[in-house]
Structure 1
C-alpha cells in the first residue's frame, strides 16, 4: 500500500467502537514501515497504549486480519502480543493488540538478537496446530504450479511433498516482524500455516544470508532447531529452490531474493539433481 488511513480519518462510529474498549484516544502514531493494513497505529488511550490495525471488512486485506484473529489464541503469550479486542463497525474490521516495546531484530553475524530470536522460534516450533484447511504444503504446490520453468524448477517441484506436518508455521519471519526488547516477540501472523517443523527455521536462513551470513554459516545456525536438523537434505534444497521460483518474478532484485538464489545455488552445487 502507498498510504494509510489516519486515526482521525476513520468513520466516527468506528472510532467510537474502538474507544469503547480503550477509553478516549488522545494520540495515534502510525508505524513508519509495513503497508499491509489500511489502518495501523499505536493508540495512546485512557486505559493504556494498544496497537490497532485493520482495514475494510470486505476488502482484500480482511482475510489477513481474520487469519491473525483466528490464530492468536494458539500462540504463546510470551512470544506474540495478545489480541485484546476486535471491532467490526461501519464496514471496517479493526484488531486491538497488546502494545509491546521493542525494535526490529538485527540478524547480522554476531548480533546479540540472534539468541533471542532463536528462543522465540523454539517456542513457536513447539506449538502443534493441525488444521487441514491451512496446510502450507497445499499452498506451496498451488503457487509453484503457476510459475514458469527455470533452472530451479526440478528441485522446487519436490518441496511440497516434504512440507506436511502439524507444527504452527509463521511463514514470514523477517526482521520487521520480530520485535526485540528483553526478549523477541513475533508479530504479523497474517500468513500462518500448518506444516513441517523445519519450515520457519528455513525461512530465517534466507534472512540470515540477506543480513550478511554465508549460506553454510546460516545453515549451521539453523541446526539448533530439531526440526531443521532432522529434515531430509532434499527437503531443504527443494525449499531453497522453490523460494527462487516464487520470489524472483514477484520480488526480483530485492536482497532477500538474491539471498534465496545464493542459498539455492549453494545447496544445488553440493547436491546435484538426480532421478528420485
Structure 2
C-alpha cells in the first residue's frame, strides 16, 4: 500500500500543469480505492470531472504509471479513457475520464454479474498490443510443481489479472475495468479463472456457482481440466505466500477462497 498525499499538498508547478489540462479546479474529492497510488482524487473543474492517480517518479511502483498509459489506447469501451499525463516536479499523474457509478457487487444474485460477464467477453477478445507486458506463465511459474506447467497459461490475449470488485466500475448498464498496473499477456481464459476466486471471496459463491458464471465467458471453454487445476493450485500457493502467518481479513478471504477452489478442482 502506498502512503497517500492530498492533491493540495502537491508542488504548485505540478498543480499548475494539471490546471493547464482541466482549467480551474473547483473542488477536490479524495478517493479511497486504488491502494497502489500515492495520489488518487476526483477533480471537479472547468473541464468537468476527472479521476487523477499518480506516484512519485522515484517510487518503486513508478513503472505502473507507464504500464497504464501505454495500455489505455487499446482498451476503448473496456476502461475509462486516459485524457492526459503530467510529469512534473518529481511526480507522474494520469488523468482519466470520470465514470460515475459504483464498484461492482459480486454477491450472489447481483445485477452486476451479467455486466461483468459482458466485460470479460470483450476483454477475452482483445489481442495484446505491441507493448512490453508481463507474461502469465512467468508470473505463475514459481507456484507450479513443474516449470513446464506454466506453458498452460501462455497466450496472446490482453489480461487484467486483478479482478478485485473495486477495479470494476458499473455505470448504468455497463461495466468498466480500471487499474491496469498488472496488465499481462496470456491465455484468453485466465481472467475468467481469476474472477472465480474473487467471486468466492465475496462470501456467497461455491466453487460450482462461481464457475457457472465464468462458464458464460466463451474463452473459459479453451481451458483444459489440467490447466484449471494447475492454475487453482498456483493461486492457492500465491495467496498463502502473500498472506504469510498473519494475514489481514481481506487477504484471509482470498486465501480461503483460493484454497477451497483448488481443493474442488483437484477433486474432479
Q: TM-score w.r.t. structure 2 length?
A: 0.92
Which of 209, 226, 248 is the equivalent residue of 2:240? 248
Contact 2:107 2:205 in 1 (8 A): yes
Q: How does 1:98-113 map to 2 (within 5 A)?
A: 98-113=97-112
Unaligned segments of structure 1, at least 5 residues: 148-152, 271-276
Cα distance in 1, alignment partners of residues 264 and 88 from structure 2: 51
Corresponding residue of 1:273: none
Deviation at 1:181, TM superposition (A): 2.1
Contact 1:130 1:166 in 2 (8 A): no
Contact 1:130 1:194 in 2 (8 A): no
Corresponding residue of 2:154: 164
Corresponding residue of 2:127: 128
Cα distance, 1:158–1:219 mapped onto 2, change above 3 Å: farther
Contact 1:53 1:94 in 2 (8 A): yes
Corresponding residue of 2:82: 83
Corresponding residue of 1:208: 199
Which 4+ residue blocks in structure 1 deviate beyond 2 angstroms?
A: 130-134, 156-159
Which has the larger displacement, 218-227 or 82-91? 218-227
Contact 2:121 2:219 in 1 (8 A): no
Which has the larger displacement, 105-114 or 122-131? 122-131
1:7-59 CA deviation, whole Å, 9 max, x = no partner? 11000000000000000112111112332111110001111110011011121
Corresponding residue of 1:274: none
Do structure 1's residue 59 and structure 2's residue 59 form an aligned pair?
A: yes
Unaligned segments of structure 2, at least 5 residues: none
Deviation at 1:167, TM superposition (A): 0.7
Q: How does 1:116-195 map to 2 (within 5 A)?
A: 116-129=115-128, 131=130, 133-134=132-133, 135-141=135-141, 144=142, 154=145, 159-182=149-172, 183-195=174-186
1:108-155 CA deviation, whole Å, 9 max, x = no partner? 1111110111111111111101658422212222xx1xx6xxxxx53x
Contact 2:74 2:129 in 1 (8 A): no
Corresponding residue of 2:188: 197
1:178-207 CA deviation, whole Å, 9 max, x = no partner? 011211111001100111001000000001
Corresponding residue of 1:264: 262
Which has the larger displacement, 130-139 or 187-196? 130-139
Cα distance in 2, alignment partners of residues 241 and 130 from structure 1: 29
